[in-house]
Structure 1
Amino acid sequence: MKHLRNIFFLVASVASLTLTSCKKWLDVRPKTEIKESEQFSTEQGFKDALYGSYQKAADGQLYGGNLTFSFLEVLSQGYDNTTKIDHDFFYAATYQYSNAGITDIINNIWSNMYATIAQTNYILKNIDSKKSVFTADNYNIIKGEALALRAFIHFDLLRLYAPSPKSDATATAIPYMTAFTVTPQARLTVSEVIALCEKDLKEAETLLKVYPQMSNPGGNDDFLAFRSNRMNYWAVKALLARLYLYNNNKVQALAYAKEVIASNNFRFITSGELTTNAADLNRTFTPEHIFSIYVSKLRDPVSSYFMMATGDKMYKKFTITEERRKAVFETAAGGSTDIRFVSNSLWSVSNGIIFPSKLWQVDENRESLKKRIPVLSLSEMYYIAAESEPSPAEGLKWLNRIRAARNIIELQAGLDAAALQNEIFKEYRRDFICVGQLFYYYKRLNLAKIEGALNGTINNTQYVLPLPNQEIEFGK
């Protein structure tokens, strides 16, 4: 692919960690490019290359911005003010993808995602011939994570740049890059890409089974710490649940979601963790993180979009009005007790304006609770289970469990499938504010309406991002 000719590979070095620090394993500095033979002559070289892959994914062009709280959240109409004509994201909010500024965003997402994939392929190209350099289970862990990250990025490319399977599973989609190469690769169909994602994830699942722990009890190996910030064993299973649901394979989606839930590695946030002292406020619900992106410089974009300083302009901000907030949480129907609604740590006033403050980076907050954006969460596993159960009655049980955890009344028995699906939709709107998952929900079900959109009927004109011109010119 054309953009691979100019890739700069991130090679990271990990700073030593202290007991009192955040253990910022991903807060690293790129080195200059070094020879491939030297890079992969040691286990540390493979670790550094893997860290570089995560660092690339955390860039503001990808999961550190565009694919979470900015561009993708705007596409889902997650904010109120972006449809105002003077807003910086107006053309995104109205799906005018031919606008030059939006075209640049779309092209940058594409090129940076494939650059991240190339980094994982750089690792996979070398790892099997270097098994002898690895200690303990690190060969399995590094290869498993590289495969999982490759599948993760390809899956999101598919969800962005191709129709959903429900719309057209046979449509020509994207190339699936399984080798480190600049040779043009044919674009595969939606179904073919999903099959390759599944293949990579199943292999990753087998490899990562050697280390299912979410922490490093001994504390002697920093590489095994903070597993929720990496494509860990349970993240692979959670991603498989998401992939299967996207492909309408509800039997497998349910099985994997239930397995993640039953692992007891994750728990729901408590109201106390949202109302405690400033140091311990847990705005992003880290106990629920199955996989989260560590963004070392998250403070800058969050302050830019979700806070008001003297001289700031509203057309550069992301806001949710109180009227909209009450409607989303259904406060007139018992939702006013929802911990996601009442918590002052999730909704804060900045210069007289209410902002969603889920991602605020506050100095007093413990380092281990900052710089993380959830990508795969426990709540999603419950929603997948609720949607995938054969009967609405069984699905309702999963939904009521999470409603209880959020401190809202349980739904009464007797909901039919359509009513249950509507309640699941409402939960997606409430739970995934600022993280960019709602757009994929609309697209997966090929819904003809996006709440808050100025456009009338929504279809693949809005759901499918245009391929970069250079990809059309150069690809097969």
Structure 2
Amino acid sequence: MKKLTITTILLGSLVFSSCSKFLDVTPKAETTKDQLFSSEKGFRDALTGAYIQLKSGNTYGGSLMWGNIEYMARNWDVINNGNQALNNLVNANYADASVKGWMENTYADEYKMIASVNSILERIDGKKSLFTGENYSLIKGEALALRAFAHFDILRMFGQMPDNSGAAVYLPYVTEVTHEIITPIGFSDFAAKVLADLDAAEAIMKGKDPIQYYSLAELNPSPSSSAPPVVADNFYMYRQIRMNYNAVLALKARVYMYLSASDPANKVNAVKYAQMVLDAKDRTGKPTYRLGRESDRSLGDHLMSPEHITAVHIYNLESVANNTFGESGGLARSDFNIQDGYYYLNNLFPVAERTSDVRWKDLWSYKSSAPGYVMYKKFIQRTLQPILQVPLLRLSEMYLILTECATTKEEAETYYRAFCNEKGIPFPNGFNNSGWEADRKNKILREYVREFYAEGQTFFTYKRLNIATLPASWTASYYTGSAARYVVPKPDREINYNNK
């Protein structure tokens, strides 16, 4: 029986698309690929296809956003206790056949998208003369950023512990479409390739991306707006749902923060890039992004879209959210009046903060169809002008990075207080004078859970910090972590074939 390897996945899954359809391309169909990449439009369509793959149900349109990855962090309860596969996922039983299948699908779909952007990157330099305006720089930069983004989440999910504890894990960093076997590499080399792609994307997009000049309102016009677009080509619009220049900076901040687990010196660059995102301004001098606040919540923008640095556009998010989180949806928690024995939500959102915290107000309510369970309404859409995008990188993460990396209590309090003031979190007296760094760590950890609930970041945060148990103040015994939980096994076919 033929063994399936990462090369098989790549060569068997090369997919491109326009906005309306996919064009399946096989390695033998060189004529078809040559036709696709014979015009600027072909490159645009291929990049659009990669973005469509980005929202696969196995990745950021489901499993890596609000689905499996959130069960792995125990942010959801299993409503139907008879669902043994989900129970196994929650308990990190990665040997279960269904769980293994889910993880393999995520692994494969990440590499499918990587294959698509690699096909762009292997041709674009030779076709530079085809491009008008800044499209060569934007398409190449976005493709590089997408490749880095997907590889980095493969590293966070399947890679070894970032503090270098436990066994080494080798993964393939794929930069070409080839029949040759891709040799897996270690953690440090893999991370260096992520950063190299991001460095290249930053360099080629700098000064070329409209998001460095125009406001989000100008680049994301309302459908009812009669004002002429600020850019002549709509390819330059809606930069919030593309891997734009600022998204590259934010992703670099996230990567360096993750790498600081083994080398604290990486915090210097985490701070550098997070601050660059905070300092981003439009042509009028106004900040490009701002933190989400009460006024957004009261208008029904529970996703806090003004702080989205980059996001995935999901045109049918209204129905997806209702079917996933609504009355008939399977994602829920069993708290408030104690069902799971832990009061998890009650401790995550203390009573004293609930009247003001925008992450709590109107976002949790009982499910009439499942007594005792509560549903989460972050993605449930408002009637007028729904926000049909789910965030991949947000400004709030940059504030938390700057708070966590601050070298003095006063500096940490400056960033965290600015964050709290917008989110509605009481923070009158600053961090505890005695053991302020421990207090900061506990608060930062809780903010990552509260702020990015159902956005796929809790598990990766726990892994970065090597969390064994949660702080006692919010139910220590509810969650237990270890390398066995945090390092998801690679698909069997990869382990067998590569012998690592």
TM-score by length of 1: 0.88
Match of 1:218 among 201, 215, 230: 230
> CA separation in 2, counterparts of 1:442 and 1:382?
18
Is the aligned partner of 1:445 residue 2:465? yes
Match of 2:415 among 384, 387, 398: 398
- Relative to 1, partners in 2 of residues 1:293 and 1:169: Cα closer, same or farther, differing over 3 Å? farther
Question: How far did residue 335 of structure 1 move?
Answer: 4.3
Is the aligned partner of 1:40 residue 2:63? no
Q: Which residue of 2 aligns with 1:12?
A: 17
Residues 361-408 of structure 1 show CA distances to partners (whole Å, capped at 9, x for unaligned) of: 45x2414x12x1111000000000001112233112111111110112
Question: How far did residue 265 of structure 1 move?
Answer: 1.1
CA RMSD of aligned residues (A): 2.3
- Relative to 1, partners in 2 of residues 1:58 and 1:452: Cα closer, same or farther, differing over 3 Å? farther
Match of 1:185 among 174, 182, 185: 182
Match of 1:56 among 53, 57, 71: 53
Structure 2 residue matching 1:290: 3-state secondary structure = strand
Match of 2:303 among 271, 275, 284: 284
Q: Which residue of 2 aligns with 1:420?
A: 440
Structure 2 residue matching 1:337: 3-state secondary structure = coil
1:257–1:381: 8 Å Cα contact kept in structure 2?
yes
Matches within 5 A, 1:291-306: 291-306=310-325
Question: How far did residue 327 of structure 1 move?
Answer: 1.9
Match of 1:3 among 3, 8, 26: 8
- Relative to 1, partners in 2 of residues 1:328 and 1:83: Cα closer, same or farther, differing over 3 Å? farther
Is the aligned partner of 1:232 residue 2:244? yes
- Relative to 1, partners in 2 of residues 1:466 and 1:411: Cα closer, same or farther, differing over 3 Å? farther
Question: How far did residue 274 of structure 1 move?
Answer: 1.7
Question: How far did residue 304 of structure 1 move?
Answer: 3.0
Q: Which residue of 1 aligns with 2:376?
A: 356
Match of 2:22 among 2, 25, 30: 30
Is the aligned partner of 1:200 residue 2:197? yes
Which has the larger displacement, 456-465 or 161-170? 161-170
- Relative to 1, partners in 2 of residues 1:76 and 1:365: Cα closer, same or farther, differing over 3 Å? farther
- Relative to 1, partners in 2 of residues 1:456 and 1:61: Cα closer, same or farther, differing over 3 Å? closer
- Relative to 1, partners in 2 of residues 1:149 and 1:321: Cα closer, same or farther, differing over 3 Å? same
> CA separation in 2, counterparts of 1:82 and 1:465?
24
Gaps of 5+ in 1: 15-27
Q: Which residue of 2 aligns with 1:385?
A: 402
Q: Which residue of 1 aligns with 2:223?
A: none
> CA separation in 2, counterparts of 1:190 and 1:227?
31
Give the aligned residue type for 1:245. Answer: M
Q: Which residue of 2 aligns with 1:22?
A: none
Question: How far did residue 176 of structure 1 move?
Answer: 0.5
- Relative to 1, partners in 2 of residues 1:87 and 1:359: Cα closer, same or farther, differing over 3 Å? farther
1:169–1:191: 8 Å Cα contact kept in structure 2?
no
> CA separation in 2, counterparts of 1:227 and 1:169?
40
Which has the larger displacement, 130-139 or 168-177? 168-177
Question: How far did residue 180 of structure 1 move?
Answer: 1.4
Superposed structure 1 runs of 4+ greater than 6 Å apart: 451-456
> CA separation in 1, counterparts of 2:93 and 2:83?
14
Is the aligned partner of 1:321 residue 2:340? no
Q: Which residue of 1 aligns with 2:98?
A: 101
Q: Which residue of 1 aligns with 2:425?
A: 408
Which has the larger displacement, 160-169 or 236-245? 160-169
> CA separation in 1, counterparts of 2:351 and 2:491?
43
> CA separation in 1, counterparts of 2:479 and 2:302?
35
Match of 2:254 among 233, 239, 242: 242
Question: How far did residue 115 of structure 1 move?
Answer: 0.7
Is the aligned partner of 1:433 residue 2:459? no
Q: Which residue of 2 aligns with 1:339?
A: 358
> CA separation in 2, counterparts of 1:452 and 1:468?
33
Q: Which residue of 2 aligns with 1:21?
A: none
Structure 2 residue matching 1:340: 3-state secondary structure = coil
- Relative to 1, partners in 2 of residues 1:457 and 1:287: Cα closer, same or farther, differing over 3 Å? closer
Gaps of 5+ in 2: 1-5, 220-228, 261-265, 281-286, 337-342
> CA separation in 2, counterparts of 1:252 and 1:137?
28
> CA separation in 2, counterparts of 1:208 and 1:197?
17
> CA separation in 1, counterparts of 2:423 and 2:162?
32
Residues 10-48 of structure 1 show CA distances to partners (whole Å, capped at 9, x for unaligned) of: 33224xxxxxxxxxxxxx332454711101000010011
Give the aligned residue type for 1:102. Answer: V
1:175–1:187: 8 Å Cα contact kept in structure 2?
yes
> CA separation in 2, counterparts of 1:254 and 1:111?
33
Question: How far did residue 411 of structure 1 move?
Answer: 4.7
Residues 175-215 of structure 1 show CA distances to partners (whole Å, capped at 9, x for unaligned) of: 10111123211111111111111110011001111334335
Q: Which residue of 1 aligns with 2:143?
A: 146
Question: How far did residue 5 of structure 1 move?
Answer: 5.5
- Relative to 1, partners in 2 of residues 1:144 and 1:320: Cα closer, same or farther, differing over 3 Å? farther
1:83–1:90: 8 Å Cα contact kept in structure 2?
no
> CA separation in 2, counterparts of 1:414 and 1:57?
39
> CA separation in 2, counterparts of 1:257 and 1:341?
26
Structure 1 residue matching 2:176: 3-state secondary structure = coil
